[in-house]
C-alpha cells in the first residue's frame, strides 16, 4: 500500500512493516511518580485506519499525551479504542517497581502486552514493536525473544501514530486509576497530583507517612533530605 499524502507531522513508519508483521506502538505513563503503578499500553492500527489518521480524517489532534489537556486525552481515549485493531493496557505495581527497578518494570509491561496480543491475534505474522524511548534491556534474558522484533524511537510519541495513541491509553488509564484509588487514600489527594512528586504530595507524605501504594525506592531520596 503506498504511503498517503501527509496532513500531519507524523512519520508513516508503520508502513515499513505491514507486509511482514503487525506493527504495534508501545508507550508507558508513570515512570517517575512517588506513588501508583507504571502503566504500559500497546496499540495497533490497520493500514486503512492509519491512512485515515495520517490524512487527518480521524483521531484529529492525536499527539503525545503530555502535549494534550486532560479533556482532550479523555475525548481521544474511546476513539482510539474504537479505531485500533488491537489494544491492551496493563499496570505494573509499586511493589514490583521497588523490587525489580523501573526499567525491568517497563520491560514487564511490554512483555505482558506482547504476549496477550500474540495470543489474541492468531496471525501468521509476528508483532513488530515500535517502542517509545531508548531503553537498553540487554541485561534481561527475557528480552532476547523480543529484541529482533522491536525498534526504539526517541520521542516516538511525537513521531509515530501508534506510539502516540499508546501514550494516551497509558496516561488516561493510569490517571483514572489514581483518581479511583484516591477514594481509598483520601488524605494523599492522589486525584490531584496522580502520585507525582509535587510540593503538595511531599507535604502530605511528611504529614501522614507512606501508603501501601507509594514506591519506597522513589521516595527514599526525598525523605533522606528531610
Classify residue 126 by burial, with Cβ atoms within 10 Å: 0-12, 13-18, 19+.
Answer: middle
Task: Please tell me whether 98 is known to bind a ligand.
Answer: no
Nearest CA among 150, 126, 122 for reference residue 136 = 150
C-alpha grid cell, residue 146: 523480543
**Is beta strand 22-29 parallel, antiparallel or unpaired with respect to 38-44?**
antiparallel
Question: Do 17 and 3 contact (CB within 8 A), yes or no?
Answer: no
Task: Please tell me whether 64 is known to bind a ligand.
Answer: no
Phi first, then psi, for residue 126 (nearest 5°) are -75, 165
Cα(148)–Cα(129) distance, rounded to whole angstroms? 9
Task: Please tell me whether 74 is known to bind a ligand.
Answer: no
Binding site residue list for a divalent metal cation? 27-28, 132
Binding site residue list? 27-28, 132
Amino acid at each position: 500500500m503506498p504511503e498517503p499524502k501527509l496532513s500531519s507531522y507524523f512519520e508513516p513508519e508503520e508502513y515499513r512493516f505491514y507486509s511482514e508483521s503487525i506493527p504495534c506502538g508501545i508507550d508507558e505513563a508513570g515512570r517517575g511518580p512517588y506513588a501508583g503503578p507504571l502503566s504500559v499500553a500497546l496499540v495497533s492500527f490497520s493500514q486503512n485506519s492509519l491512512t485515515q489518521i495520517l490524512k487527518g480524517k480521524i483521531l484529529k489532534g492525536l499527539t503525545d499525551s503530555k502535549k494534550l489537556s486532560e479533556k482532550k486525552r479523555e475525548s481521544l481515549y474511546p476513539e482510539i479504542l474504537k479505531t485500533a485493531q488491537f489494544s491492551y493496557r496493563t499496570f505494573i505495581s509499586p511493589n514490583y517497581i521497588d523490587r525489580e527497578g523501573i526499567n525491568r518494570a517497563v520491560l514487564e509491561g511490554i512483555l505482558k502486552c506482547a504476549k496477550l496480543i500474540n495470543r489474541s491475534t492468531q496471525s501468521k505474522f509476528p508483532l513488530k514493536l515500535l517502542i517509545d524511548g531508548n531503553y537498553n534491556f540487554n541485561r534481561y534474558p527475557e528480552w532476547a525473544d523480543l529484541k529482533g522484533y522491536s525498534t526504539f524511537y526517541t520521542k516516538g510519541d511525537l513521531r509515530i501514530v501508534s506510539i502516540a495513541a499508546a501514550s494516551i491509553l497509558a496516561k488516561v488509564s493510569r490517571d483514572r486509576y489514581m483518581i479511583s484509588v484516591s477514594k481509598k487514600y483520601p488524605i494523599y489527594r492522589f486525584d490531584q497530583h496522580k502520585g507525582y512528586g509535587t510540593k503538595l504530595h511531599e507535604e502530605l507524605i511528611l504529614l501522614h507517612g507512606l501508603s501501601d501504594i507509594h514506591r519506597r525506592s522513589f521516595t527514599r531520596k526525598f525523605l533522606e533530605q528531610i
